[in-house]
Amino acid sequence: MAELTASVDLVVSGRRLVAPEGVRPGHVLIADGRVVAITDEDTAPAAARRMDAGEYYVLPGLIDSHVHFRTPGLTHKEDWEHGSRAAVAGGFTTVMDMPNTVPPTLTEDAMREKAALVAGHSLVDHRFHIGVDPENPRLLAGLDPDVATSAKLFMAGHHTAPTVVRDAAVLEKAFVAAAAGGVQLVLHAEDDQLFQLLDGWWGEPDSYRQYEARRPRSGGIAAVAKVIELVRRHGTKAHILHLSSAEEADLVCAARAAGMPISFEVTGHHLSFTDQDTQRLGARTRLSPSIRGQADQDRLWEALRAGQPATIGSDHAPHTIAEKTRSVQQSPPGLPGVQELAVSVWTGMRRRWPDEDPDVAVGRLVRHLASGPADLFQLPGKGRLAPGADADLVFFAPDATWMLSARDVRAKCGWSAYEGWTMTGRVERTLRAGRTVWDAATGEFGAYDGRWLGTAAAPAREPALAQEGTR
């Protein structure tokens, strides 16, 4: 142990470290950007830097496995410098970016090119989901895991989804290939043909009072049923993104209970808003899938309390105000959300369950925003405050009360659907690899040297070896 602590260059001390075994006091000993040990006593050399987190919770760096940072081709509405600023201001040190860019990232070469574009512009570590190409779904069977281990499949289209898999035979080929390659499918699971059928009868929605009814829950239910059947046949690992309705949650939970390798994500916006908000806020909460009613939101919160989702995601998908103020038919779905995600979910938990022990609540937040996505997407060194992990840490003030305004928004688009919300909880400091990348007190960011977690490009460091004095 003495040999390990001799190399320690940073000690983070606090009374509320959120470790895998629970909340505890102690000292996080860090060397070369990794956690060496968590100890009861500060045994580091006197020359090591020290930070005292006091009564703040010290969380592991959070992971958002569902962002659209828009590189390449759509950087007028978001880019990695702004998107990663929003991420670290929200406590996120790792993100997973989606492939629906211009051009879409559908090949291994395109993934490497994207990584080269991002290099030097990101405050966060990152991995990319490759896109499923309807013209070549078999690519997934031989996908190099050093480049990607997950693939995004769109079953329904919208303004920024150019590669929709509508044909049943192609859909099945994608599931077969993903199973053969051990690839985790992540799915926008709505039935596009059903929506086209309804639009042919009703016409597209021309007001936000009609929007949810014209993009109904039946689209998601039908698509999730298809996914479950394909998972049953082929054993493909499937993760349903931005699940929006009670029926979908019940179906996925039942399939998982039956032993199928299927899971789901809930988003901050489906937990925060209802269709009544969309009627009031219009394009700001025009989403795909659409925001549902109060009963659906309640079911998603029940799912969260029961630990049923594998992940919570932001689906951070900014558009400019000019794009959002087009007609209802032309306004694109999506909102910025990575900065707001953790604090909005924390705010919701404290309001819905005010008598819950905050240590229990913070454990839930970390499970769904750190260890859960790290496990699902095979992100070694991420998602836990433990020896051997990357020294990605968040100082979180659980009782801070503040109002979000447009001037707080770090995303390039400059607006938020949460403007005017009184939030409970605030990210005070974010560290990645033991270095500060966000300091709320000064408003300053750190170095734009986040790593691509494709293992061919960024080989993992040797893990630290010991833990001392764990309670």
- Catalytic positions are 315
Crossing angle for the helix pair 168-181 and 217-234, nearest 10 degrees? 50
Q: Where are the beta strands (DSSP E) in 352-461?
A: 393-403, 422-432, 435-439, 444-445
312 and 241 in contact (C-beta within 8 Å)? no
Closest CA to 369 of 123, 99, 115, 96: 96
β-bridge partners, 262: 238
The two three-digit tokens of residue 107, written as one number: 């090949």
Q: What is d(CA 466, CA 289) in angstroms, rounded to the nearest whole number?
A: 45
DSSP 408: G
Question: What's the distance, CA 31 to chain centroid?
Answer: 27
**Radius of gyration of the chain, Cα coordinates, nearest whole angstrom:** 22
Residue type, 386: A
Q: What is d(CA 292, CA 244) in angstroms, rounded to the nearest whole number?
A: 7
The two three-digit tokens of residue 312, written as one number: 């919570």
Q: How many CB atoms lie within 10 A of CB 395?
A: 26
| CA angle, residues 189, 194, 197, in degrees to nearest 5 | 155
Provide the sign of the torsion angle of the four alpha carbons 429, 338, 111, 143, taken in this order: positive
Q: How many CB atoms lie within 10 A of CB 404?
A: 19
Question: What's the distance, CA 251 to chain centroid?
Answer: 22
DSSP 160: T
Closest CA to 433 of 46, 187, 124: 124
In terms of DSSP bridges, do strands 422-432 and 34-39 run parallel, antiparallel, or are they unpaired? unpaired
